[in-house]
A and B are shown apart, each in its own frame.
Chain A
Amino acid sequence: MAEIIDLVLLGMLAITAFNIIFIKDLFTVVMLFGIYSFLSALIFVNLDAVDVAFTEAAVGAGISTVLMLGTLALTGRKEKASSHKTILPLLVVCVTGAALIYGTLDMPLFGDPDNPAHQHVAPRYIEDSPQEIGIPNMVTSVLASYRAFDTLGETAVVFAAAIGVLSLLGLPKRDRATIQSGLKSHLVLRVVAKMIIPLIVLFALYVQFHGDYGPGGGFQAGVIAAAALILYALVFGLPMATHVVPPRVLKALAALGVLIYAGTGVVSLFLSANFLDYSVLAEDPVAGQHIGIIAIELGVGITVFAAMLCIFYAFAGQTERKNIQ
């Protein structure tokens, strides 16, 4: 049964991508890309990757779409007819594709338990991590403990990307004069948004601290919390949002998250263990792992939240500036 669902969903994914190539209206392209992200999230669930699906649904369909729409508001929604010759790109792509398809014939069979990928480190993660780290979600144990160094790098990349966007676009100023803004005519939207934004923030906190036991963790929680504030900014206007969470605070928060993460590593260094080895953080190694994972997940959550919201502020600030001109 799962195979059939897999076949159908992957087919739909390919059709969506195929449509994206030919549509000239970029607004439709971005909407299709949102659908594409949701479809890939479904496929990830079907392939047992619940954590990944969660992230893809929040990031790909939520944040990406908003950012692309923000860009379209500035650059225009129509793609002009291309003067490029399409024969050469088509040829290059087809040759690459044919070589890769030929290559897949030698790939290990899909879903085979004897695949080389399942032989090396994965058995150890699956068999030992529930005792060694003491939390049921293996993805969180690998992410936050076994491969914590890798995750530190990823967090730093998110932070660096936020800095990159800020240096390109700059943050909007906090402006008290235009505090009355947003979608004034949409009364229903405002009332419902007021009701569900606290719920979304609460859900983000749940995802943050429940990530050890179920799907979730710092990355997802940060993105969901940022989505709550993005919704607030969309409905009540950017000036209101910058009033609630000032850009200055966000910049500090983004740095603070990376600092918490790296600081946890330095603390374990001082307690005469390896960098990011949490076993020494408490008397009992498993309790130490728990403390360490909560600390670094918090760091990841704060950085991702602040970085995503900073990026959104930068784009929304540009749009407002264009509207004023």
Chain B
Amino acid sequence: MIEIISSVFLIVGAFFSLTGAVGIFKFPDFFTRVHAASVTDSISTILIIFGLILRTDFDLVAVKLLFILIFMLLTSPTASHALAKSARHGGLLTLAETRSDKKVGDD
């Protein structure tokens, strides 16, 4: 039973990872791409690590996996935040802003 639940977690986690990867390729500008990568990354990390914890005997390995989860939850959103913020400081515009700029330019 636990095996099945864990498999479901793992498969859904892998699916979210895949959607994130597709998003990076398909989305039109930098900010939406960072969004795709970071949001799906967080959810798939949680799901996959929970799926893996269910497969352990709830011993030291489970504790180590929990530590990895906490570390990932701290660092991965921070990395996305720093990326997006640096891009913004560097003067990168969102897609909506670029479009409205164009309209102003056309008028």
Say yes or no: is A185 at the interface (Cβ < 8 Å to chain B). yes
Given A196-B71, A199-B71, A189 contacting B78 (CB threshold 8 A): yes
Distance A195 CA – B82 CA, assembled complex (angstroms): 16
Are B81 and A188 within 8 A (Cβ)?
yes
- Is B102's beta carbon under 8 Å from chain A? no
Q: Is A186 located at the chain interface by the 8 A CB criterion?
A: yes
Chain B, residue nearest A185 (CB)? B89
Q: How many A-B residue pairs have CB under 8 A?
A: 19
A192 touching B78, Cβ below 8 Å? yes
CA A85 to CA B19, docked complex, whole Å: 43
**Helix, strand, loop or mixed for chain A's interface?**
helix
How far apart sit A251 and B75, CA to CA, in the bound complex (Å)?
31
Q: Which residues of B contact A192 (CB under 8 A)?
A: 74-75, 78
Find residues 135-188 in chain A having any chain B CB closer than 8 Å to their own CB.
185-186, 188
The bracket for how many chain B residues form the interface is: under 10
Structural contact, B82 and A196, CB atoms closer than 8 A: no
Instruction: Give the interface centre of B75, B78, B81 by most chain A CB atoms within 10 Å.
Output: B78
- Could you tell me the distance between the alpha carbons of A185 and B71 in the complex, rounded to whole angstroms? 23
Q: A195-B74, A196-B71, A196-B75 are in contact. Are A188 and B82 (CB under 8 A)?
A: yes
Which residue of chain A is the closest to B78 with respect to CB atoms? A192
Residues of B within 8 A of A189 (CB): 78, 81-82
A contact residues around B78 at 8 Å (CB)? 188-189, 192
Contact between chains at B74 and A196 (CB < 8 Å): yes
State the Cβ distance, A266 to closest chain B Cβ, in Å.
38
> Which residue of B71, B74, B75, B85 is within 8 Å of A186 (Cβ)?
B85
Residues on B with C-beta less than 8 A from A186 are 82, 85
Q: Which residues of B in the span 1-16 have a Cβ within 8 Å of any Cβ on A?
A: none
A80 CA to B85 CA, complexed, in Å: 30
Which residues from B are CB-within-8-Å of A195?
74
Q: Residue on B with the closest CB to A195?
A: B74
Interface hits, B84-107 → A, CB 8 Å = 85, 89
- Chain A residues whose C-beta falls within 8 Å of the C-beta of B74 in the assembled complex: 192, 195-196
**Complex: how many Å from CA A192 to CA B89?**
20
Q: Which residue of B lies closest to A193 (CB)?
A: B78
What residues of chain A lie closer than 8 Å to B71, measured between beta carbons?
196, 199
Q: Which residues of A contact B75 (CB under 8 A)?
A: 192, 196
For the complex, what is the distance from the CA of A199 to the CA of B78, rounded to whole Å?
Answer: 16
Q: Mark B46-76, 1 if CB is under 8 A from A, else 0.
A: 0000000000000000000000000100110
With a cutoff of 8 Å between Cβ atoms, the chain B residues found around residue A196 in the complex are 71, 74-75
Q: Give Cα A199–Cα B71 distance, bound, in whole angstroms.
A: 9
A195-230 vs B, CB cutoff 8 Å, 1 = contact: the mask equals 110010000000000000000000000000000000
Please name the residue on chain A nearest to B85 by beta carbon. A186
Residues in B with CB closer than 8 Å to A185 are: 85, 89
Q: How far is the CA of A186 from the CA of B85 in the complex (A)?
A: 8
A199 vs B72: C-alpha distance in the bound complex, in angstroms? 13
Closest beta carbon of chain B to A75's beta carbon, Å: 20
For this complex, 19 residue pairs linking A to B, each with C-beta atoms less than 8 Å apart, are: A185-B85, A185-B89, A186-B82, A186-B85, A188-B78, A188-B81, A188-B82, A188-B85, A189-B78, A189-B81, A189-B82, A192-B74, A192-B75, A192-B78, A195-B74, A196-B71, A196-B74, A196-B75, A199-B71
| A interface residues (Cβ-Cβ under 8 A, vs B) | 185-186, 188-189, 192, 195-196, 199
The 10 closest A-B pairs by CB, nearest first: A192-B78, A189-B82, A188-B81, A192-B74, A196-B74, A188-B78, A186-B82, A189-B78, A186-B85, A195-B74
